[in-house]
């Protein structure tokens, strides 16, 4: 089993979690979804993210998703599993199960209510103490959801203190200056360079790559765009990467809407044959007829531009 480390690069999509129209977990559709991601040459995969509806799953369902997806991936790409929980025993139990099933690492977001750098570093110390010492960790910096800001100084302290912290999922917004500072400070001090993958539906993707990001960890319904932009940028073709990004931008922006984005994403994955149903588990938003018309128009425009 390959373990995640600081050299991780590329695109690790946040996998959707498939449900039947009645809200039941659809593991057969999960197989189809994994195949969809792998066919688009992703470099890794992330399970049980926030946009994967992880908080809506029971512990048993979470384990079922992890085991089924890992079995389908069969070691072809590294898989990260979100294990965030206010209960450290539950967090560690899911992490141990995921690693035993073949995960490459786990992702942890801080529990809401933490205030200040010292409290955040102390919390992460308790997380690492609860985990198996060999488990690689991705820190999810998403203050829009957790309410917990991550300063550059706190992150530097964590990089120094926790050798198993190998990746930052960067979703702060605005965050470009912070990302640039993290890279500049690491270079200036000789500090260990960790991998940085970006979220927020990759809405700022080309600029984040230019500031030092190593790829994307987000769930955009056209992961092949994320892959092509990353590969062009890595090959030195930043202008070509921007050109590809521009073609998809109207649909990507529409999918990034707060509140409705998940329903849009699952509808697009359903239309692309990756899901048997676009169902979002309750509580979740249902798209209107006008939403569907807008998606029709955006997809038609994308397909015309891709043909051109």
Q: What is the mean pLDDT of residues 84-111?
A: 97
Tens digits of per-residue pLDDT, 34-91? 999 999 999 999 999 988 899 999 999 999 999 999 999 999 999 999 999 999 999 9
The candidate with the shortest Cα–Cα distance to 39, out of 79, 80, 82, 77, is: 77
* Distance in angstroms (rounded) separating the CA atoms of residues 118 and 164: 19
pTM for this entry: 0.96
CA dihedral 163, 175, 201, 149 (to 10 degrees): 60
For position 51, what pLDDT does the model report? Answer: 85
Residue 196 neighbours by CB distance under 10 Å: 24
Q: What is the mean pLDDT of residues 206-229?
A: 98
Q: Omega of the bond prior to 89 within 30 degrees of 0, cis?
A: no
Tens digits of per-residue pLDDT, 135-148? 999 999 999 999 99
For position 284, what pLDDT does the model report? Answer: 86
**Statement: residue 185 has pLDDT above 70:** yes
Domains and CATH numbers, the chain: 10-307 (3.20.20.70)
Instruction: Give Cα separations from 56 to 17, 31, 148, 282 (angstroms).
Output: 10, 20, 21, 8
For position 64, what pLDDT does the model report? Answer: 98
For position 1, what pLDDT does the model report? Answer: 67
For position 285, what pLDDT does the model report? Answer: 87
* Distance in angstroms (rounded) separating the CA atoms of residues 82 and 298: 31
For position 50, what pLDDT does the model report? Answer: 85
For position 57, what pLDDT does the model report? Answer: 96
* Distance in angstroms (rounded) separating the CA atoms of residues 219 and 265: 8
For position 295, what pLDDT does the model report? Answer: 98
Over the chain, what is the mean pLDDT? 97
The candidate with the shortest Cα–Cα distance to 155, out of 139, 144, 143, 171, is: 139
């Amino acid at each position: 089993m390959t373990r995640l480390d600081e050299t991780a690069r590329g695109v690790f999509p946040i996998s959707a979690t498939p449900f039947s129209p009645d809200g039941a977990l659809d593991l057969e559709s999960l197989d189809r979804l994994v195949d969809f991601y792998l066919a688009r040459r992703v470099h890794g995969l992330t399970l049980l993210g926030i946009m994967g509806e992880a908080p809506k799953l029971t512990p048993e369902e979470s384990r079922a998703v992890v085991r089924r997806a890992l079995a389908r991936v069969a070691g072809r790409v590294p898989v990260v599993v979100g294990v965030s929980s206010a209960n450290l025993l539950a967090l560690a139990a899911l992490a141990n199960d995921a690693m035993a099933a073949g995960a490459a690492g786990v992702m942890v977001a801080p529990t809401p209510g933490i205030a200040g750098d010292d409290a955040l570093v102390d919390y992460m110390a308790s997380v690492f103490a609860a985990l198996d010492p060999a488990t690689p960790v991705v820190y999810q910096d998403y203050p829009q959801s957790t309410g917990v800001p991550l300063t550059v100084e706190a992150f530097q302290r964590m990089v120094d203190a926790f050798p198993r912290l190998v990746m930052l999922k960067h979703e702060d917004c605005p965050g470009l200056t912070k990302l640039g500072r993290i890279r500049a400070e690491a270079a200036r001090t000789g500090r260990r360079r960790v991998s940085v993958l970006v979220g927020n539906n990759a809405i700022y993707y080309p600029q984040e790559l230019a500031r030092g990001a190593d790829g994307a960890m987000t769930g955009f319904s056209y992961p092949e765009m994320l892959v092509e932009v990353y590969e062009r940028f890595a090959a030195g073709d930043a202008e070509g990467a921007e050109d590809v990004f521009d073609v998809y931008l109207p649909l990507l922006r529409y999918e990034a809407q707060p509140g409705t984005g998940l329903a849009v994403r699952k509808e697009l994955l359903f239309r692309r044959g990756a899901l048997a149903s676009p169902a979002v588990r309750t509580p979740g938003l249902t798209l209107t007829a006008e939403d569907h018309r807008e998606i029709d128009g955006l997809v038609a425009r994308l397909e015309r531009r891709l043909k051109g």
